[in-house]
Amino acid sequence: MPGPARRLVCDWGTTHLRAWTLDAAGEVIARLDLPRGVGGLAPGEAERVFHAEVQIPLGAAGLPALLCGMVGSTLGWRTVPYLACPAGAEDLAAGMAEAAPGVRIVPGLRGEGPLGAPDVMRGEETQILGWLAMDPARGLGDHVLCLPGTHAKWVQVSQGRIVRFVTAMTGELFALLMTHSVLRAGVQPDDRAAFAAGLAAAGDGDALAARLFTARSRVVAGGAPADSTAAFVSGLLIGAEVAAVPALLGASAPKVTLLGEARLCGLYAQALTHHQISAEICDGEAAVLAGLAQLGDIR
Amino acid sequence: MPGPARRLVCDWGTTHLRAWTLDAAGEVIARLDLPRGVGGLAPGEAERVFHAEVQIPLGAAGLPALLCGMVGSTLGWRTVPYLACPAGAEDLAAGMAEAAPGVRIVPGLRGEGPLGAPDVMRGEETQILGWLAMDPARGLGDHVLCLPGTHAKWVQVSQGRIVRFVTAMTGELFALLMTHSVLRAGVQPDDRAAFAAGLAAAGDGDALAARLFTARSRVVAGGAPADSTAAFVSGLLIGAEVAAVPALLGASAPKVTLLGEARLCGLYAQALTHHQISAEICDGEAAVLAGLAQLGDIR
């Protein structure tokens, strides 16, 4: 039986759930990965799912648990109020809320975005603070991070606190265009040349609706192979994001840290290089795990 | 029975078909409007549909007919090769192809677009030449036209010829986002304030994927009413297009002529005004009818 120093941590997003049991030293004992995001839950279902599909299979029913992500939203288990930026690990730890006895949820963050509307995140704050926790020197400097995905976050971090961020729905646009638009195309194997052509076609990130149409005209009137469309559109969208979004933060970014899945981070790194910005990639799962372990240690 | 000077003209696009019978003076005798675009036809079906659903109902079976639009594409009746820009009415008349005895189709245009890929149009060329034909003075000057729609065309016209153009898939993006995205929203009554807020939020037309996300965050975190989302997104997309696409043509445009449906042209006029560009609106149906009448007169 697990001892009291063991604990359960969980990143529960809109489409996915990942959970780990950790020993007293923070080492992973077991891992669970389910396509069981809160976006697919009926109201009130989160507690039952957590118990039956996470706690029981991991043998972690009695362990203290710490959760982050959309599980703290209105879609999730219990709505945990957003904290205002700037915020660091101590603030997040202080803002946790209990969903059930022994089960706490990390709050999301709310920032005054650079585009005239407030912006929000749930889950990314834990990844970012985990990345900071991996190397104490990071807590002293200024950083620009990008967390690619359905709704990519660009984040300015200073002195260990998340200062400002902005969201770009690049991943969602890509999925929409590939599924429902005149540009729709099956998923293709990597086509580095077409991705690079898309990056070049992104220009300064303006006139996106016109640039996107060239993904069609380059095929129907320009002789490009139809099966290069997905990679071209990916390059165009990521290129347009990288060309314009970091500047919105007002942060000079000679280097951007990418937190996320390796393949997608690799595409963003290529786009950053195209714009003479160097990139460092950190695995997103490692970051969220480090963040949950650290936040669990604070309280 | 109609005399030989009568004729049938038809604008047959991807989603829609409009046909008119004209008398010898070019006046409309009858009009037909069907949701029967070539996008929904089976291969080889165009001729039968044209006969049964257009010629017969209009009592125009024996009349010479002139068609424009996607009916001249691979989706349509007969593929008519694109003509290269610059092109004027004489070029289009010379490039017509016969689909059946007495039934001719206007060719589309192909241009070297400003974005490194060729661009194409089918149907818009006839509207533009119709607009020119409505006032002989227009054939002497330089103009920038915009034809809003699913795939909006921005067109540079000089001395009666279509010189250069670029397509923006703004209308399609709007439909995708309203139907399938996290921003999806029912069609709402006009909300002029939200549309204007979207125009203002469009900035220079860059960072669109980030600006679009503010359509969500202004509601979930900013207190804006959810039913203002559609108008906000419409303003954002049209604003981003108007901010950046005309400049791609390299044409200074103190005035833009909008050809199309009144409501949509009104939104574009508001966006142009926001950018200190004056707008003139011309009904798209009147323009295509004038174009088909004129092209039929040339040969």
pLDDT at site B4: 43
Q: Which of B206, B218, B233 to mutate to test the interface with A (most CBs of A within 10 A)?
A: B206
**Cβ of B166 and A120 within 8 Å?**
no
Q: Are B273 and B248 in contact (CB under 8 A)?
A: no
How far are the Cα atoms of A55, A113, B152 from residue B203, in angstroms, in the given order?
48, 14, 20
Where would I find the H helices in B5-123? 46-49, 89-94
Residue B199 tokens, joined: 């125009």
Whole-number mean pLDDT of chain A?
Answer: 93
CA B25 from centroid of its chain's CA atoms: 26
Q: What residues does B144 pair with on adjacent strands?
A: B156
pLDDT at site B152: 97
**Cβ of B206 and A204 within 8 Å?**
yes
Closest-approach residue (CA) in chain B for A74? B220
Q: How far apart are CA B175 and CA B234, in angstroms?
A: 10
Q: How far apart are CA B29 and CA B139, in angstroms?
A: 28
pLDDT at site A76: 95
Mean pLDDT, residues A117-144 taken together: 95
Helical packing angle, B229-248 and A208-220, nearest 10°: 70
**Cβ of A207 and B168 within 8 Å?**
yes
Mean pLDDT, residues A113-122 taken together: 91
Q: Is the omega angle on the peptide bond into residue B148 within 30 degrees of 0, that is, cis?
A: no
Among candidate residues A154, A204, A212, A195, the one with its CA nearest the CA of residue B207: A204
The per-type count for chain A, helices as H runs and strands as E runs, is 9, 14
Q: Which of A22-26, A28-32, B123-127 shows the lowest per-residue confidence on average (mean pLDDT)?
A: A22-26
B 207-246 residues with CB below 8 A of A? 207-214, 217-218, 220-222, 237, 240-241, 243-245
Q: How far apart are CA B264 and CA B286, in angstroms?
A: 16
Please state the length of chain A. 299
Q: How far apart are CA B69 and CA B65, in angstroms?
A: 14
**Cβ of A117 and B218 within 8 Å?**
yes
Q: Is A171 helix (H, G, I), strand (E, B) or coil?
A: helix
Where would I find the H helices in B158-228? 170-180, 192-201, 208-220
Mean pLDDT, residues A136-146 taken together: 95
How many CB contacts within 8 angstroms connect chain A with chain B? Answer: 165
pLDDT at site A299: 58
Q: Is B5 helix (H, G, I), strand (E, B) or coil?
A: coil
pLDDT at site A2: 38
| A222 interaction partners in chain B (CB closer than 8 Å) | 117-118
Q: Are strands A83-84 and A109-112 parallel, antiparallel or unpaired?
A: parallel
Q: How far apart are CA B107 and CA B89, in angstroms?
A: 11
When pLDDT is cut at 50, 70 and 90, the band that residue A26 belongs to is confident
Torsion angle (degrees, nearest 10) of CA B195, B200, B206, B212: -40
Closest-approach residue (CA) in chain A for B214? A117
Give the CATH number of domain A112-285; options: 3.30.420.310, 1.25.40.10, 3.30.230.10, 3.40.1350.10.
Answer: 3.30.420.310
Q: Is B49 helix (H, G, I), strand (E, B) or coil?
A: helix
A125 touches chain B (CB under 8 A): no
Q: How far apart are CA B221 and CA B202, in angstroms?
A: 19
**Which of A172, A210, A213 is closest, CB to CB, to B181?**
A172
Q: Which residues of chain B form CATH 3.30.420.300? A: 7-140+285-298
Identify the residue whose tokens are 């293709």.
A188
A120 touches chain B (CB under 8 A): yes
CATH no. of B7-140+285-298: 3.30.420.300
H or E, element range at B130: helix B124-134
Closest-approach residue (CA) in chain B for A119? B217
When pLDDT is cut at 50, 70 and 90, the band that residue A263 belongs to is very high
pLDDT at site A280: 97
**pLDDT, tens digit, 9 for 90 and up, residues A229-242:** 999 999 999 999 99
B21 touches chain A (CB under 8 A): no
pLDDT top residue among A206 and B221: A206
**pLDDT, tens digit, 9 for 90 and up, residues A74-99:** 989 999 999 999 999 999 999 999 99
pLDDT by position in tens, chain B (length 299): 434 489 999 999 999 999 999 998 889 999 999 999 999 999 999 999 999 999 999 999 999 999 999 999 998 999 999 999 999 999 999 999 999 999 999 999 999 989 988 999 999 999 999 999 999 999 999 999 999 999 999 999 999 999 999 999 999 999 999 999 989 987 677 899 999 999 999 999 999 999 999 999 999 888 999 999 999 999 999 999 999 999 999 876 689 999 999 999 999 999 999 999 999 999 999 999 999 999 988 75
Q: Which residues of chain B form CATH 3.30.420.310? A: 168-282
Q: What residues does B87 pair with on adjacent strands?
A: B162
Q: Which CATH fold would you assign to the domain B168-282?
A: Nucleotidyltransferase; domain 5 (3.30.420)
Q: How far apart are CA A30 and CA B130, in angstroms?
A: 71
**pLDDT, tens digit, 9 for 90 and up, residues A36-69:** 999 999 999 999 999 999 999 999 999 999 999 9
